[in-house]
Chain A
Amino acid sequence: GNSVTQMEGPVTLSEEAFLTINCTYTATGYPSLFWYVQYPGEGLQLLLKATKADDKGSNKGFEATYRKETTSFHLEKGSVQVSDSAVYFCALSQMNRDDKIIFGKGTRLHILP
């Protein structure tokens, strides 16, 4: 079945550091891929998405590229801020196969000032 594996946290970085959170997936066919972010005390929010191979999703300085050959969708940001401290979830969905989104377990990110 479909699954998502992302790096375990917590990840602790200093402000302005480079961020990578790894995500790999298992799926048949061509899923859509997502990164969601959950700030403390809030629900999950869609951060970015990519719907086909080689697409790059971007938002708020974050980027992720859909790599079919490596079944990966790693999240990156060139210079993190304290306000980026949150939990990040990688996820996938497959049109016409399942109505659900499959979420990874989440990676907690702490940014130190």
Chain B
Amino acid sequence: DAGVIQSPRHEVTEMGQEVTLRCKPISGHDYLFWYRQTMMRGLELLIYFNNNVPIDDSGMPEDRFSAKMPNASFSTLKIQPSEPRDSAVYFCASSLSGTGHYEQYFGPGTRLTVT
């Protein structure tokens, strides 16, 4: 089975540009999570969805960040405008609530560098 798929794997952009990160969760999973990982702050939960509906976006750092899940197989995380402090690795993860234990499956991540 394919795992969580993220694209691009690496993104380098200039400050002020719009960045869109993409995620395809594992088929059949009903939860989708976006995380950010940096050396300074560790792993941070940004937002998560259940059945395509945003449940908790309290981790989204600023209005420059937005996330959508138009269908069960696709989600985007957008940063507009991007800033150097947004440089990080962004992970998408999915899980299936029916297991009752919410174990999450992570994608390989997108390494974002904003210059």
Contact = CB atoms under 8 A, between A and B. Distances in A.
Interface of A: 32, 34, 42-46, 49, 51, 89, 93, 95, 99-101, 103, 105-106
Contact of B102 (A101, A103, A105, A106): A101
Interface of B is mostly: strand
A49 B102 CA distance: 11
Interface magnitude class on chain B: 20 to 34
Interface in B64-115: 91, 93, 97, 100-109
A42 B100 contact: no
Interface of A is mostly: strand
Interface of B: 4, 31, 33, 42-43, 45, 48, 50, 55-56, 91, 93, 97, 100-109
B103 A43 contact: no
B97 A105 contact: no
Contact of B91 (A43, A99, A106): A43
Contacts of A34: 103
Contact of B106 (A43, A51, A95): A43
Given A42-B108, A99-B50, A99-B55, A49 B42 contact: no
